[in-house]
Amino acid sequence: MKITQGNKEALIKRAATDIADSRKTIALTGAGISVESGIPDFRSAGGLWDKYDPEEYAHISAFRSNPAKVWNMIKDMMELVLGAEPNPAHIALAELERMGLLNSVITQNVDGLHQRGGSREVIEFHGSNQWLVCLGCGYRQESASLSFEDIPPRCPQCSSILKPDVVFFGEPIPPEAQNRSFEEARTCDLVLVVGTSAVVYPAAGIPPLAKQSGAKVVEINMEPTPLTGFVSDYLIQGSAGAILPQIVEEIRRHAA
Ligand code: APR
């Protein structure tokens, strides 16, 4: 279906109605929601995986075999996040939560921008780069305490190299985050899938799980994904930073 401005506006109205009518709405977000904060996503043209081969940089075996090399990518990503602010998409989701219309955000992102944008119920499915952990002894420290001179940082207790508390390929999802996320998916009426290519599991299994449990699935993305036309009820194609605030505005207009 050709996306025209007309049917985009109609879809925004439809999403506003679906959210207003939903007993329990959740959101699943990916890197696309932070692109308008200046953080490139992974798989779009010019994304992080164009610069860093995920096999060489994002797998736990790469970190274990060459931590100094992987820390070059981590430093780049941390510097991008340091300069980033929540964008209108993050703020719109926080507004929905404040309006009592969004139960939780399940995010694949590790940038902390949902919390800084005002969201309170945030499930960090892939961990968070706000903390560094030691694979040797379990020591933890806040990333904020890190100076980029001493890269890679070493554990003060056992001198192993510290790792951001994020899930690398080949690592398990934090059990508490996974269990909470699947429970949210099973018990929601509506899931907003925002800015994810839906190709990385188990996160990409959340929309189908919600669908099987009877929920509506609404995608907001610059482009179709494997969910589109199969799992999603509809895709509102465009930038999350433009679409989500329009949905909130449409809900306000109707509530007034
Ligand atoms: N608004 C909406 N969608 C956008 C925007 C935007 N402004 N910019 C990009 N997108 C979309 C892209 O079209 C793409 O479908 O966001 C999606 C980003 O996909 P990915 O780069 O694959 O990011 P993500 O889905 O979060 O990746 C999942 O893979 O590399 C691992 O652990 C990493 O959490 C990440 C996981």
Residue 240 CB less than 6 A away from ligand 1: yes
Q: Which atom of ligand 1 is nearest to the CA of 197?
A: 15
pLDDT at 3: 54
Residue 136 DSSP label: T
- Ligand 1 centroid distance, CA of 85 (Å): 18
Q: List, run by run, the mean pLDDT of 10-residue segments along the chain (256 residues).
A: 72 98 98 98 95 95 95 94 96 98 98 98 97 95 88 94 96 98 98 98 98 98 97 98 98 89
Residue with CA at minimum distance from ligand 1 atom 34: 108
Residue 222 CB less than 6 A away from ligand 1: yes
The residues pairing with 106 across neighbouring beta strands, listed in sequence order, are 28, 123
CATH number at residue 103: 3.40.50.1220
Residue 127 CB less than 6 A away from ligand 1: no
In contact, 121 and 132? CB cutoff 8 Å: no
- Ligand 1 centroid distance, CA of 101 (Å): 24
Sign of the Cα pseudo-torsion (250, 252, 253, 255, in order): positive
Backbone dihedral angles phi then psi of residue 187, each to the nearest 5 degrees: -115, 10
Buried b (16+ CB within 10 A) or exposed e, 139-164: eebebeebeeeeebbebeeeeebbbb
Provide the domain count of the chain: 2
In contact, 196 and 28? CB cutoff 8 Å: yes
In contact, 60 and 169? CB cutoff 8 Å: yes
CA–CA dist 210, 34 (Å, integer): 24
Say whether both 156 and 234 belong to one domain.
Answer: no
Say whether both 142 and 21 belong to one domain.
Answer: no
Say whether both 23 and 145 belong to one domain.
Answer: no
- Supply the range of the domain harboring residue 153: 42-83+127-166
Residue 32 CB less than 6 A away from ligand 1: yes
DSSP string, 10-59: HHHHHHHHHHHH-SSEEEEE-GGGGGGGT---SSSTT-HHHHS-HHHHTB
Ligand 1 pocket, mutate which of 55, 110, 222, 227 (most atoms under 8 A from CB)? 222
Q: Is 10 left (phi over 0), alpha (psi -120 to 50) or beta?
A: alpha
CATH number at residue 47: 3.30.1600.10
Say whether both 136 and 207 belong to one domain.
Answer: no
CA–CA dist 186, 183 (Å, integer): 5
**The overall pTM is greater than 0.95:** yes
